[in-house]
């Protein structure tokens, strides 16, 4: 029964992501996860503060439904379909150890950052909030995130999406190679 818990290889996951995008296109919609953040701001009354949130957010309920589905999917997969550990390359594990992160291979997310106990550290709290902030701010500034630009936009060979995706990687590489050594020194 181990195969149920085994992670899916890239050649299964990638095509299924493409399938997700095509199902949504066929339904007359667009694959884009970060739009939900804007919709939630609008639903919470953000339109009173900025025109950016003044739109008929109820028309985006379909995407909020997809989002709720993703939450359910995360619950099902973590409870019934996974042993909740992730094996990564051994030299990457060594690198993480030098940063004081020793939970690689034992957990799905690093416990040093994501466990309840880790929340008592102001530094960890800042990492989580700032990380989230940049994702939310950057996704709206760039007009999309990984699903909207890297998958949907590039599939349609859109130059703006290529610029955005190059930006994603420039930002990610800067964070991991220049800023991580400072944060986790």
Establish if 88 lies at the interface with other proteins (CB under 8 A): yes
Least Å distance between CB 56 and other proteins? 16
Question: How many residues appear in the chain?
Answer: 185
Phi-psi region of 145 (alpha: psi -120 to 50; beta: other; left: phi over 0): beta
Q: Which residue of 58, 78, 98, 100 would you call a contact of other proteins, by CB under 8 A? A: 78
Residues near 39 by Cβ (< 8 Å), separated by ≥ 6?
57, 60, 63, 64
Q: Which residue of 1, 3, 56, 71 would you call a contact of other proteins, by CB under 8 A? A: 71
Q: Which residue of 1, 157, 182, 185 would you call a contact of other proteins, by CB under 8 A? A: 157
Least Å distance between CB 103 and other proteins? 9
Chain residues 92-121 in contact with other proteins, contact rule CB under 8 A = 92, 95-96, 104, 108-110, 113-116, 118-119
Cα(42)–Cα(61) distance, rounded to whole angstroms? 12
Establish if 43 lies at the interface with other proteins (CB under 8 A): no
Establish if 83 lies at the interface with other proteins (CB under 8 A): no
Chain residues 16-35 in contact with other proteins, contact rule CB under 8 A = 16-18, 20-30, 33-34
Burial of 62-83, coded b for 16+ CB within 10 Å and e otherwise, reads ebbebbeeeeeeeeeeeeeeee
């Amino acid at each position: 029964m181990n195969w149920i818990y085994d992670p899916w290889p890239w050649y299964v996951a990638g095509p299924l992501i493409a399938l997700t995008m095509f199902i949504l296109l066929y339904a007359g919609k667009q694959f884009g996860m970060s739009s939900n953040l804007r919709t939630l701001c609008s639903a919470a009354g953000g339109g009173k503060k900025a025109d950016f949130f003044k739109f008929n957010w109820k028309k985006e309920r379909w995407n909020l439904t997809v989002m709720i589905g993703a939450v359910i999917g995360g619950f099902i997969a973590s409870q019934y379909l996974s042993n909740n550990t992730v094996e990564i390359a051994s030299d990457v594990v060594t690198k993480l150890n030098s940063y004081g992160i020793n939970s690689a291979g034992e957990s799905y997310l690093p416990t040093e950052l994501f466990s309840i106990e880790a929340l008592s550290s102001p530094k960890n709290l800042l990492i989580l909030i700032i990380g989230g902030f940049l994702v939310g701010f950057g996704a709206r500034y760039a007009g999309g995130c990984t699903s909207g630009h890297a998958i949907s936009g590039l599939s349609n060979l859109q130059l703006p999406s290529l610029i955005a995706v190059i930006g994603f990687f420039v930002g990610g590489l800067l964070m991991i190679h220049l800023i991580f050594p400072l944060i986790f020194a």
